[in-house]
């Protein structure tokens, strides 16, 4: 049984969309895109160059005055139109999402629906962006604060969830009155190409949203470009360091949503079946390639063996398969390089004292041409070892026992990351206390990802980044406060 290949004719053809013009190739090099489930080329993509970035920025700057001046109700109605189109055509994203990085067809339509929800939520803010007045002393004066867009925002999104990440930024940025230059990742270009096409189909004016597809050199050109007023970067910490270094030369503001090594804390009183199902999602969501996935299982010793037995059995029943099949739950990781890196981390984790509860080795047979690893659970992992401290970015969970509540909190916080955390307990006091003590930007108690909706803030502590996307906090990431003081004193000439 072989896996089907993507239909190249069903995939978007325009890696660059600049000033409303769809371009089948940029002026940079051509790079073959590899479908992770079969290792075959879907299409060669004509990458953008620094010159294409120049054109995209010029188009955005030309469009900005009119977009900024558009009345809030008009922009609101247009954002709602985008939302309605994305909702009606959510299935149109499926070929792109599956083909670009092996996302499974089971969840792919939800990504279009999620995009619609973001545009609808932030569209509702367009006619509600208001300032405030501030009482003055020391003389009669009127002082007020106005919130204004930055201008042109450069958006760089990762390959693991480009549509989800792009809409998380673009919806609030456009609602705030900014124009966009968006870089589609070279490893997973298609869903973002489709996104920008549909923005124009919905009636977003030319130049308001521009797309360039490219690798690191295109991102570097965006960060350094004097015509881009703010950068929003979603990706790895290593790349973020380079982004910040470049942006510092022009003192350009940068928003960062970076990696994570999120703990799943399971207490003795937890509903173990629920905790195991939720815990397993950390290995399955985005094929384990999610920054906020719960991948460190910290389990209280009284239920440690029982929990591992349950989650191990569940993991063994998760069959990796053809991403285009509606029943497939787990797809491939992004590349052979990623697969080799993940396997090396698992092997070193075993060497550090871990033991395999489920999975552990690359899938062969029908899966041999793709980049497949089964759901892997590694138990008895010391919290200080590599695989417990660093992102694996694959379908791998590591488990460590603990004895007390304080120990659980200390283990969970003993990492340089602070994006998410998950707590399983039936004790309300404990749930609130542990959530308060955890150093992470998003905490779920007896859940796993339900809070990631447009009206809730999302972002990290420590090396997981700074700034927030989602909610009113996410809107204000793309607005600058301006304070205006106006004297109300009578002029001498008028006395």
Region of 177 please: left (phi>0), alpha (psi -120 to 50) or beta.
left
**pLDDT at 1 > cutoff 70:** no
DSSP letter for 21, please.
E
- Dist CA 73 CA 71 (whole Å): 6
Out of 100, 179, 232, 291, pick the active-site residue.
Answer: 291
Confidence of residue 490 (pLDDT cuts 50, 70, 90): confident
Q: Model's pTM, two decimal places? A: 0.96
* Confidence (pLDDT) at 138: 82
* Whether residue 462 has pLDDT greater than 70: yes
- Residues 169-203 have pLDDT tens digits of 999 999 999 999 999 999 999 999 999 999 999 99
Q: Which is more confidently placed, 345 or 139?
A: 345
pLDDT band at 420 (very low <50, low <70, confident <90, very high): very high
Alpha-carbon span 310 to 72, nearest angstrom? 52
Taking only Cα atoms into account, the Rg of the chain, rounded to an integer number of angstroms, comes to 24
Strand order in the sheet with 141-149: 132-134, 141-149, 479-487
Q: What's the CA gap between 3 and 78, in Å, rounded?
A: 40
User: Is pLDDT at 340 greater than 80 in this prediction?
Assistant: yes
Domains of the chain: 8-258+464-481 (3.40.605.10), 262-445 (3.40.309.10)
Map tokens 């399971």 to a residue: 266
The Cα–Cα gap between 211 and 196 comes to 7
| Residue 344 neighbours by CB distance under 10 Å | 12
- So what's the pLDDT on residue 493? 59
Whether 473 is a known active-site residue: answer: no
CB neighbourhood size of 491 (10 A): 7
Provide the pLDDT confidence category of residue 494 given band limits of 50, 70 and 90.
low
pLDDT tens for each residue of 16-34: 999 999 999 999 999 999 9
Output the average pLDDT for the chain: 96
Single out the catalytic residue among 23, 100, 232, 257: 257
Clarify whether 291 is annotated catalytic: yes
pLDDT value, residue 449: 86
- Specify the 3-state DSSP secondary structure of 167: helix
DSSP 82-141: HHHHHHHTGGGGHHHHHHHH---TTTHHHHHHHHHHHHHHHHTTTT----EEE---SS-E
Q: What is the C-alpha separation between 197 and 211, in angstroms, rounded?
A: 9
Integer distance in angstroms from the first to the last C-alpha of the chain?
93
The b-or-e profile of 195-204 (16+ CB within 10 A means b, else e) is bbbbbbebeb
Residue in this structure with the two tokens 């050199």, named with its chain if needed: 217
For residue 118, the model assigns a pLDDT of: 98
The pairing of strands 355-358 and 376-379 is antiparallel
pLDDT, tens digit, 9 for 90 and up, residues 235-256: 999 999 999 999 999 999 999 9
- What is the predicted pLDDT for the residue at 425? 98
């Amino acid at each position: 049984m072989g896996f089907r290949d993507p239909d190249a004719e069903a995939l978007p053809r325009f890696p660059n969309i600049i000033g409303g013009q769809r371009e089948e190739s940029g002026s940079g090099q051509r790079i073959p895109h590899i479908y992770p489930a079969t290792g075959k080329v879907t299409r060669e993509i004509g990458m953008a160059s620094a010159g294409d970035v120049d054109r995209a920025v010029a188009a955005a700057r030309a469009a900005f005055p009119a977009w900024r001046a558009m009345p809030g109700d008009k922009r609101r109605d247009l954002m709602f139109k985008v939302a309605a189109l994305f909702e009606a055509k959510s299935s149109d994203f499926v070929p792109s999402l599956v083909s670009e990085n092996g996302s499974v067809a089971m969840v792919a339509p939800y990504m279009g629906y999620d995009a619609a929800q973001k545009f609808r939520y932030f569209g509702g803010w367009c006619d509600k962006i208001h300032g405030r007045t501030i009482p003055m002393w020391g003389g009669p004066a009127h002082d007020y604060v106005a919130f204004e867009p930055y201008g042109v925002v450069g958006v760089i999104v990762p390959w693991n969830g480009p549509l989800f990440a792009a809409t998380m930024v673009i919806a609030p940025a456009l609602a705030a009155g900014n124009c966009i230059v968006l870089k589609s990742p070279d490893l997973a270009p298609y869903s973002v190409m489709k996104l920008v096409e549909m923005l124009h189909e919905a009636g977003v004016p030319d130049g308001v949203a521009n797309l360039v597809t490219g690798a690191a050199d295109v991102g570097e050109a965006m960060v350094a470009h004097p015509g881009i007023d703010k950068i929003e970067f979603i990706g790895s910490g290593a790349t973020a360091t380079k982004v910040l270094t470049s942006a510092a030369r022009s003192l350009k503001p940068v928003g960062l949503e970076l990696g994570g090594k999120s703990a799943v804390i399971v207490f003795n009183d937890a509903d173990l079946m629920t905790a195991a199902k939720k815990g397993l999602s950390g290995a399955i969501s985005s094929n384990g390639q999610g920054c906020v996935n719960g991948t460190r299982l910290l389990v209280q010793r009284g239920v440690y063996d029982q929990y591992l037995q349950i989650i191990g059995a569940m993991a063994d029943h998760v069959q990796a398969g053809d991403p285009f099949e509606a029943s497939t739950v787990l797809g491939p990781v992004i590349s052979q390089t990623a697969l080799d890196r993940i396997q090396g981390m698992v092997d070193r984790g075993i060497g550090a004292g871990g033991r395999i509860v489920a999975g552990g080795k690359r899938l062969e047979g029908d899966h041999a041409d793709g980049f497949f690893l089964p759901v892997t659970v590694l138990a008895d992992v010391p919290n200080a070892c590599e695989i417990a401290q660093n992102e694996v970015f694959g379908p791998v969970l590591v488990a460590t026992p603990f004895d007390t509540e304080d120990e659980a909190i200390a283990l969970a916080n003993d990492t340089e990351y602070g994006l998410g955390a998950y707590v399983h307990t039936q004790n309300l006091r404990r749930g609130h206390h542990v959530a308060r003590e955890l150093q992470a930007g998003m905490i779920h108690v007896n859940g796993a990802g339900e809070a990631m909706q447009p009206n809730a803030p999302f972002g990290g502590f420590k090396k997981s980044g700074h700034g927030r996307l989602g909610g009113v906090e996410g809107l204000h990431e793309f607005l600058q406060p301006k304070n205006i003081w106006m004297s109300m004193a009578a002029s001498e000439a008028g006395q």
